[in-house]
């Protein structure tokens, strides 16, 4: 793909997929134009870098569709002073976007091959304030808590208390929550030591993050 065609494809991704999906934050839209999504896609799928679809990653994982990544980013409302925890690094694309907005990003990826790929992608993109750790992210990173923002790069059946306890007062957790066929993006804000408010934002589905607890479906 010629450079001119790449830039045109990026423009159409933003204007025809992302902006119509109620992504209106100018900082997010500018980042999507700057951070080269095609550099975070596996070689075999480069031609689909700007398509409105999830893309395969090693270990049966997926890179979320651009509009989903953009919407999660907008909902996270990251500020330049924020310390961010990302769970499910994937290709590192969302990590790169977070890093451009935040002071520091710690990203947890369970699959070693995917973690290595993300590190290489972030290094090539010149991102130096994001650290990728190859570890099970279901328990978060308590030693580095509290966080201003926790963003989950896949879906969970419910948000675990272990992660909510790692939020700062006023901190936000953004996740896609629920069961197929209907899941919803949720923003949970910590309002006190023991209280949290939760807001459902939009409906979509995403692949499950590994090792997160499944609620019992047993009913009395």
Domains and CATH numbers, the chain: 67-203 (3.40.50.150)
Q: What is the mean pLDDT of residues 56-62?
A: 92
pLDDT of residue 175: 97
Where does the pLDDT of residue 220 fall: very low under 50, low under 70, confident under 90, or very high at 90 and above? very low
Where does the pLDDT of residue 217 fall: very low under 50, low under 70, confident under 90, or very high at 90 and above? low
Q: What mean pLDDT value characterizes the chain? A: 94
Check pLDDT > 80 for residue 74: yes
- pTM recorded for the entire structure: 0.94
pLDDT of residue 214: 78
Per the CB < 8 A criterion, the answer to whether 187 and 71 are in contact is no
Taking the C-alpha atoms of residue 46 and residue 16, their distance in angstroms, rounded to an integer, is 19
First to last CA, the chain: 58
Q: What is the mean pLDDT of residues 120-133?
A: 98
- pLDDT tens for 131-161 read 999 999 999 999 999 999 999 999 999 999 9
Where does the pLDDT of residue 1 fall: very low under 50, low under 70, confident under 90, or very high at 90 and above? low
């Amino acid at each position: 793909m010629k450079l001119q065609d790449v830039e045109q494809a990026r423009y159409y991704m933003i204007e025809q997929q992302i902006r119509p999906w109620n992504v209106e934050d100018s900082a997010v839209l500018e980042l999507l134009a700057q951070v080269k999504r095609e550099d975070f896609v596996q070689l075999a799928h480069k031609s689909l870098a700007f398509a409105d679809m999830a893309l395969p990653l090693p270990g049966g994982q997926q890179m979320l569709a651009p509009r989903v990544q953009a919407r999660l980013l907008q909902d996270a409302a990251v500020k330049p002073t924020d310390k961010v925890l990302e769970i499910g690094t994937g290709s590192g694309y969302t990590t790169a976007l977070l890093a451009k907005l935040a002071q520091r990003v710690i990203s947890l990826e369970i699959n070693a091959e995917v973690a290595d790929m993300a590190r290489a992608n972030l290094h090539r993109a010149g991102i130096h304030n994001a650290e990728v750790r190859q570890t099970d992210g279901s328990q978060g990173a308590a030693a580095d808590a509290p966080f201003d923002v926790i963003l989950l790069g896949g879906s969970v059946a419910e948000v675990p208390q272990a992660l909510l306890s790692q939020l700062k007062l006023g901190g936000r957790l953004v996740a896609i929550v629920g069961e197929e066929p209907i899941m919803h993006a949720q923003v949970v804000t910590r309002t006190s030591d023991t209280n949290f408010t939760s807001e459902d934002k939009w409906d979509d589905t995403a692949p499950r993050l590994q090792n997160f607890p499944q609620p019992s479906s047993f009913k009395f």
